[in-house]
Structure 1
């Protein structure tokens, strides 16, 4: 039995708690931890975890030899410190997105994990939806030929008060805006499916959130070593939250949500519908199996089975770093108004958190904050996973 602790019982923690409770044959939640003890006690009661100890200080988790795995659900600026302490205490860690506030912190987490032979997984729950997995397999089978252009529309909408929460909207505590904390899901999918680009050119702005230092929209152009390209729009200003990932191949286009279109050339170069290719792609997609567990549940099941069977996780710390590297390149390009070459290393201004805070763009001054909202309910205006 794998003993699990959860550090941080804010809005995202229910996704972890509910997922762990689905797999009671593999694990049990043995500890909850939060700086707000009363909030943690309420969470314990609401999820029928009344006998589970509740701590304020996560050092008590570090000192408990019976805890095997810890979900870190705290603000991004705390991820590295907590993860490193837990890894050194012999715990496996599952870190909510983003992995950390900087590439420097990611590298330190991965270094300690390797030294301690512990698992680090970074939440990328959108990989664990059936449509994503199916499109990944279609691309891996080269059924649309080489991908020549990808389009990522990471469209979200948040009201101005969203950034009133004490840790949001600042480079120091949140680490960035919509590119880091919302589009991270889609950017992870892009680098998982397409690999890392060679160059990034980006712009960003804050159009609608005057209590935030960070961006509420960014647009990036990615260029790969073979000359192919991708474009990524990250936003919290799009009503309806209509999100999509489109992959244009030499033979056809596919997307999430699933849609396929294939063209063949007429004598003069204009397109004619390629019904045969479309039919092959439709049949392949429809015949691929659905996942047994999706979202956070799918990723948590992956981590639990990796611990039990001593095998790699699908989303490890190296991939968590790659996603953050791509986001960091977007911030660097937009801030310095230049094309950025990858990879980024320790000599770069944007490698460390301090470097980012010194060299990035501050759009507004945060002048108002609240400790918490009256509700933790998370709503979305669109659904892109099915």
Structure 2
């Protein structure tokens, strides 16, 4: 197999960002050979912008193309499950935007399908990548941070009426959720990436900002499996926009850069408990190699994984953890009860967290 993999991008909205940030900076690894979108005008616009001649409206046509190695699914969430499963059946590698699918049942079905699939599946969590978050991860994984005490995540973003003029947004059937699903899912993933698995959730969701079906404001109290405590807050009604993650460990305090859409790029604030801890941090970060943020590094590491040079940077198990939190959040809010994780097939929302009247 050639070391340059041919990609078909399905959905030219966020798919354009995949091209600009992920594939073009990795031109020695990927070539975008085809685009697929139901909107001919947008299809032609993006095709002309990047000189991509193969423009397809019918997704099934892509699956039959022998020269396509990777199907990159960037459609509205409601279409993800069928496209991912069909692409895996066709022997393709698959990249899929968040959320991977719309239920724990569906993500478990995809995990099962992966076992016999020829290709690899990589869900997208591009916020994990960049110098700031990677240095924090290095310090934690090296054991320097010590015992985790507590942490907070604030996702304060702004979405007003024009945002919801896009027909699929703000609706249960197509977006599958609100701020929990399409926005705070990224900072929440970063938190568990650094702090580990969640044991219990008490959450509340509300629609406070816009007249939409889904939630746009949330809060939660969490207990981690380590015993650490955490709180999550998010809204789409903030005046300014920040993403702030603050973690308190035995030996260090770690706080993210507050950039809302690229919190991993800039160096994070890392405060050592004493000079001995500082010396260990300095040693661990000596000769640091720059880590490009967002899609550039995620796509590069996906290429490495395909060729056996590393592990998948994001897995379907990571997506399951994110969707498990979402499921627990909705159940906790509706029942006013604490929810213990993990969640299995016996959970009331295993098949869907979408309210019955919107399915």
Query: Same fold, TM exceeding 0.5?
Result: yes
8 Å contact kept, 2:139–2:281: no
Q: Distance in 2 between matches of 1:86 and 1:310?
A: 23
Deviation digits for residues 91-144 of structure 1, max 9, x if unmatched? 111111111111111112221122113211111111111100110111112223
**3-state DSSP of counterpart to 2:197:** coil
Tell me if 1:218 matches 2:218. yes
**3-state DSSP of counterpart to 1:156:** strand
Q: Distance in 2 between matches of 1:13 and 1:183?
A: 20
Deviation digits for residues 2-52 of structure 1, max 9, x if unmatched? 111011111x11211122122222221111101112321111001222xx2
1:128-139 equivalences in 2 (<5 Å): 128-139=129-140
Tell me if 1:109 matches 2:110. yes
**3-state DSSP of counterpart to 2:234:** strand
8 Å contact kept, 2:77–2:174: yes
Q: Distance in 2 between matches of 1:144 and 1:305?
A: 29
In structure 1, runs of 5+ residues without a counterpart are 264-273, 363-386
CA distance 1:310–1:109, change in 2 (3 Å): farther
1:1-386 equivalences in 2 (<5 Å): 1-10=4-13, 12-18=14-20, 19-49=22-52, 52-210=53-211, 212-257=212-257, 258-261=268-271, 274=274, 276=275, 279-280=278-279, 283=282, 287=286, 289-309=288-308, 311-353=310-352, 355-358=353-356
Q: Distance in 2 between matches of 1:48 and 1:13?
A: 15
Q: Distance in 2 between matches of 1:293 and 1:261?
A: 23
Q: Distance in 1 between matches of 2:62 and 2:197?
A: 36
How many angstroms does 1:89 deviate by? Answer: 0.4
**3-state DSSP of counterpart to 2:198:** coil
Higher deviation after alignment, 215-224 or 111-120: 111-120
8 Å contact kept, 1:350–1:359: no
Runs of 4 or more above 4 Å deviation: none
In structure 2, runs of 5+ residues without a counterpart are 258-267
How many angstroms does 1:278 deviate by? Answer: 6.5
Q: Distance in 1 between matches of 2:164 and 2:216?
A: 11
Deviation digits for residues 131-184 of structure 1, max 9, x if unmatched? 001101111122232111011111211112322311111111101111111011
How many angstroms does 1:192 deviate by? Answer: 1.3
Cα root mean square deviation, aligned:
2.1
**3-state DSSP of counterpart to 1:31:** strand
Deviation digits for residues 61-95 of structure 1, max 9, x if unmatched? 11112211111110011111110011100011111
Indicate the structure (1 or 2) with the bigger Cα radius of gyration: 1
TM-score of the pair, normalised by structure 1: 0.84
Q: Distance in 1 between matches of 2:107 and 2:235?
A: 24
8 Å contact kept, 2:103–2:350: yes
CA distance 1:285–1:209, change in 2 (3 Å): farther
**3-state DSSP of counterpart to 1:172:** helix
TM-score of the pair, normalised by structure 2: 0.90
